[in-house]
Amino acid sequence: MRVDLPGSGRGWMARPWRRLLRATADRVTWLDRIRNERRLRRQMQDALGYAPDLRHPRTFNERIARKILDDRNPLIPLTLDKVAVRDWVAGRIGEAFLVPLFGVWERARDIPWDDLPSRFVAKTNHGCAYNILVSDKASQDREAVIRQLDAWMAENYYDCAREWGYRSIPRRILVEEFLRGRQGGVPEDYKLFVFGGQPRLLKVIHGRFTPEERHFYYDPQTFQPLDIGCFRPADYPGDAGPPPEARQLHDLAARLGAPFDAVRVDFYLIDGRPLFGELTHYTGAASLSLGSYEKDLEVGEMWAEALRLKGKAGAARRRWPGRAGQPAPG
């Protein structure tokens, strides 16, 4: 029979020591960084099937991991906050692109349920996938919605995801209009990957929250299907690709993505009109399946190329003497 001695790191001493180490890492920046990097490596290895190189990142997911660990752009927490981002988006592209909002509350029980329409979306502002779609208020269990919102409000999403931008977001509940898609259900999701201020990849999600959900990738300017991810438009002859109205999204995403090295900008198209969904800085938590290591590398190179071009354009503007009011080339 094996007996673990005090100080051996096992048995009755293991849990207190782990709690102490976690508490210390929470307060000491460099320890927290080491812990987060180790966690990311394990997570990515399990999800993607390759050992990530976080010292010399090349793939899309390796670059997202470095963004999680290093990028401290102060706009990241603001734009992850689903309440605060609304004013920021309105200032850059206009209020007309915001989903109608019924209200913001700090407690679920303060929501005036009886005053809400029959369909709405309730969500919290401080995390990912904290959404409840209420398609029929009359048949919805009100107490279940309140319990779920309270549970999310009790969580700090940073403790789950270890993604810096979520660490200090003040927690609130918001209720938005339930958007109807072309078939009356949840609308398609248009996600533009913006690198160096330029949209380089468009992902369209059909059939969200259904067994028929599928994800297609396109060139965001030509709408040419791309061989990325697990689904191919060619395997679904009924898919005609993005509608012509989706061409509006390119410039809108570029304006919203300009302050960041990389960000994903999400939109809906409702009767041909773009509505802003969210900004995502940590797409897939550095574990997004793109179909293969080679495809992951291909998207990572899109990111790197966009930053190189952005750097060259910035250098040209700085060198151009010109005359007053005369812009630099490009």
The single residue listed with the structure tokens 């190179």 is 301
Q: Give 144's DSSP letter.
A: H
Cα torsion at 147, 149, 150, 152 (round to 10°)? Answer: 120
The confidence score (pLDDT) of residue 14 equals: 56
Residue 19, pLDDT above cutoff 70? no
pLDDT band at residue 234, thresholds of 50, 70 and 90? Answer: confident
The answer to whether residues 6 and 13 touch, using CB atoms and an 8 Å cutoff, is yes
The confidence score (pLDDT) of residue 12 equals: 44
State the average pLDDT for the chain: 89
Which phi and psi (to 5°) does residue 179 adopt?
-85, 135
Stretch 253-281: mean pLDDT, rounded?
97
**The three-state (H, E, C) secondary structure of 38-83, written as one string:** HHHHHHHHHHHCCCCCCCCCCCHHHHHHHHHHHCCCCHHHHHHCCC
Cα torsion at 87, 91, 92, 96 (round to 10°)? Answer: 80
Tokens representing 61 are 């997911």
Which phi and psi (to 5°) does residue 146 adopt?
-60, -45
The confidence score (pLDDT) of residue 241 equals: 87
The confidence score (pLDDT) of residue 189 equals: 95
Stretch 92-115: mean pLDDT, rounded?
98
The confidence score (pLDDT) of residue 30 equals: 67
**pLDDT tens for each residue of 132-147:** 999 999 999 999 999 9
The answer to whether residues 224 and 218 touch, using CB atoms and an 8 Å cutoff, is yes
The confidence score (pLDDT) of residue 135 equals: 92
Stretch 272-277: mean pLDDT, rounded?
97
The confidence score (pLDDT) of residue 2 equals: 38
Residue 319, pLDDT above cutoff 80? no
**pLDDT tens for each residue of 28-65:** 576 788 889 999 999 999 999 999 999 999 999 999 99
Using alpha carbons, select from 234, 199, 198 the residue that is nearest to residue 216. 234
Predicted model pTM: 0.87
**pLDDT tens for each residue of 114-171:** 999 999 999 999 999 999 999 999 999 999 999 999 999 999 999 989 999 999 999 9
For the stretch 292-296, contacts whose Cβ atoms lie closer than 8 Å and that sit 24 or more positions apart, written own/partner, are 293/48, 293/49, 293/50, 293/59, 295/227, 295/228, 295/229, 296/48, 296/59, 296/60, 296/61
The confidence score (pLDDT) of residue 211 equals: 83
Tokens representing 108 are 């679920």
The confidence score (pLDDT) of residue 210 equals: 81
The confidence score (pLDDT) of residue 25 equals: 55
**pLDDT tens for each residue of 185-230:** 789 999 999 999 999 999 999 888 788 889 999 999 999 999 999 8
